Structure 1
Amino acid sequence: MNENLFRPQFDTLKLSDKLWLMQTLATRYHLTFKELYAFSRWGQSCTTGLFEKGGREFVFVPGDTVILGWESFVQGMDKANQEELADIFAEIEYEGSAEEFLRQSMTPVRQVTIGPMFVGRKLEEIGWESVPMNDPRITARPDWLENLQKLDSKDGRSVEINQTVRFKRNGDSWQAWLCHPMTYPEFRRYLLWDLTATLPTPDEWAYLCGGGCRTLFPWGDGLDRKMKLHHFEGPEDQSKPYDMEQPNFFGLSIAYDPYQQELVDGKTLTTCGGDGGCNICGGLGPLLGFLPCSPHCKPEVREDNEIHNDYDFFRPVIRVQTSGWRMVIDRAQE
């Protein structure tokens, strides 16, 4: 195993050595190296490489041995979070402690070693094909175009027929996407053969999201109400970016919208980072609404293997082999 590919050693490399390592990795894995960039957020930081491949932006994430899972508070929740939970407990007649309640949704505490990898920086949709408005598959459906004409008169911005077609206004014209439903096994084969990538495991996803943090969320033991959050923003927040959507300490936009579930590797369709908005739709408030975005939350395992194109998303990863590199990389430090 080459220690330079793991966080404790990687973080201590000179910038010149790190640059050489990133360029060497880019050549080996057929990526285009763009630059070194320093990411810092929520008490963690990483200066790493940005890459491009097939129109996608990747970041190199060094491996590490970390503790994952959650069983108790490190800092404790603030008054606002305590009061929100107390109101919910009163409504559902729950008499246990907050830790006991939250622990039911969390994975057990364990130590794992995560290998180094290139990681897609942003979530991507599954099964939506962008097509021109004169595509024969669009023009063959005059009922779709008639609906768009009605929306034009009402200043409509978008319309979607569930898992069939989507139209969005772009200035004075419209853009169209056709939906191609996929099963989970079909999509995994597509990733491997078309993108030479795969999905992160649940443990890898938890590391990418939390970096081994011991608190409930990467920033602490509760929801930070100063943040602008998807689905809970006020009118005064319209010009601000969503805080959780901004790059984290690895440079990833991850776990920022409970409606958007990330596919992870599993025997059947498995997701992390959201619940399709179930807690929010159930009126459970911001804290429990965003609890599925915690790096420690249990993955959701579905038996049907049918991907939902509006709620299921993916993030490609390319794992880096750690054997056979020692002699080459050590030369960078001579």
Structure 2
Amino acid sequence: MEAWNRAAWGQLTIEEKQSAMQELLERLPAGFKWLRLERFERYGQSIETGVFIHEGSEYVYVPGDTVTLGRSEIHMYAKMSPVREAVIGALLVQRSPISAGWYECPLERLDPEEDEDVLEAIEEFRQGPHNSHEFSQYFRLERDGEEITVFLFDDSETFEEWCDTEVPEGFALPTEDEWEYLYGAGTRTLFPWGDEIDASMRLRHVPGSGEANAEAPYPLELPNGFGLCFPGDPYKKELVLTPDGITGKGGDGGCNLHGGHGPALGYLPTATAFRDPYESELAWEDLLDCLVYRRVVRL
């Protein structure tokens, strides 16, 4: 299959795109199924591309490009990746990220002896008024009506140990260059949507924001111009690869929001090029607590 760049991909007919996706399917890791062609459009960027599914998760085909990434501005509350040119290859990308540190555990899998403290906490939680409860880096309980869902914290001690189980053969994590390309979807503004946090935007951790749109979805969580969803949440970071190892992108674990800096600075970590200047101080389990990740297949 030809490695299309964005400009060339955009010139193909529907029939040519469908044919290319069928050819691609034969080269993918086992378990992928073809779903459809779909058009995505947001923030002035759009693409009609292929959608696949693997083990219940949708993946989209993103053609490659030669792009300018990074920011030259220096801010007292932020560190940005440097301005650079990057050649991004075509990718098949998981549409929505999933938690790296927390995984759902069916109640029937809890052992009456080994998980006695969790089971006791569940019964206490069931009788209480709260909708969520977390015991730091151990278990979390969520209530939806009468249903209680249990999440356990991953017990891996290193990134390499975690990666052995979460990134199977044929898959990879995006690099920082790939992530910035996927998140920004071709934009050169500070954020994918522009250069500032609009006061009318509905923000998950800012009470009263976007009151006129209180019933609408949080806009930062909607699919972008590539059809990809991101947390849009400074409390979360997305796990990516760097030349020196790994890092988290798209958030700072909520440090700016906790610092009382307000929405503009609190959501600055959702900027495309943002790098958390304090991340090196975190141990793996502390980083894992706020991490999400998505798999990609390099083509």
- Give the Cα–Cα distance (whole angstroms) in 2 for the partners of residues 102 and 13 of structure 1: 45
**Residue 123 in structure 1 maps to residue 97 in structure 2:** yes
TM-score, with normalisation over the residues of structure 2? 0.88
- Give the Cα–Cα distance (whole angstroms) in 2 for the partners of residues 35 and 244 of structure 1: 25
Contact 1:223 1:287 in 2 (8 A): yes
Aligned residue in 1 for 2:4: 5
**Secondary structure at the counterpart of residue 174 of structure 1:** strand
Structure ID, larger Rg: 1
- Give the Cα–Cα distance (whole angstroms) in 1 for the partners of residues 112 and 40 of structure 2: 43
Deviates more, 1:137-146 or 1:249-258: 137-146
Percentage of matched positions with identical amino acids? 38
TM-score, with normalisation over the residues of structure 1? 0.79
Deviates more, 1:121-130 or 1:43-52: 121-130
- Give the Cα–Cα distance (whole angstroms) in 1 for the partners of residues 206 and 77 of structure 2: 25
1:157–1:116: structure 2 CA closer, same or farther, 3 Å change rule? same
By how many angstroms is 1:136 displaced?
Answer: 4.1
1:1-334 equivalent positions in 2, closer than 5 A: 2=2, 5-30=4-29, 31-71=32-72, 99-101=73-75, 105-137=79-111, 140-182=114-156, 183-192=158-167, 194=168, 196-234=170-208, 236=211, 237-266=213-242, 267-298=244-275, 302=280, 306-308=284-286, 309-320=288-299
By how many angstroms is 1:39 displaced?
Answer: 0.6
Contact 2:139 2:153 in 1 (8 A): yes
By how many angstroms is 1:238 displaced?
Answer: 4.0
- Give the Cα–Cα distance (whole angstroms) in 2 for the partners of residues 112 and 167 of structure 1: 42
1:279–1:70: structure 2 CA closer, same or farther, 3 Å change rule? same
By how many angstroms is 1:62 displaced?
Answer: 0.7
Contact 2:51 2:61 in 1 (8 A): yes
Deviates more, 1:112-121 or 1:219-228: 219-228
Unaligned runs of 5+ in 1: 72-98, 321-334
Contact 1:39 1:47 in 2 (8 A): yes
* Greater share of residues in strand: 2
* Greater share of residues in helix: 1
Q: CA RMSD in A?
A: 2.4
Unaligned runs of 5+ in 2: none
**Secondary structure at the counterpart of residue 107 of structure 2:** coil
| Number of aligned residue pairs | 291
Contact 1:202 1:299 in 2 (8 A): no
1:107–1:180: structure 2 CA closer, same or farther, 3 Å change rule? closer
By how many angstroms is 1:57 displaced?
Answer: 1.1
Contact 2:47 2:225 in 1 (8 A): yes
Contact 2:79 2:276 in 1 (8 A): no
1:130–1:104: structure 2 CA closer, same or farther, 3 Å change rule? closer
- The CA deviation string for residues 105-136 of structure 1, in whole angstroms up to 9 with x for no partner, is 22221111111101111111124343332334
1:282–1:269: structure 2 CA closer, same or farther, 3 Å change rule? same
By how many angstroms is 1:312 displaced?
Answer: 1.0
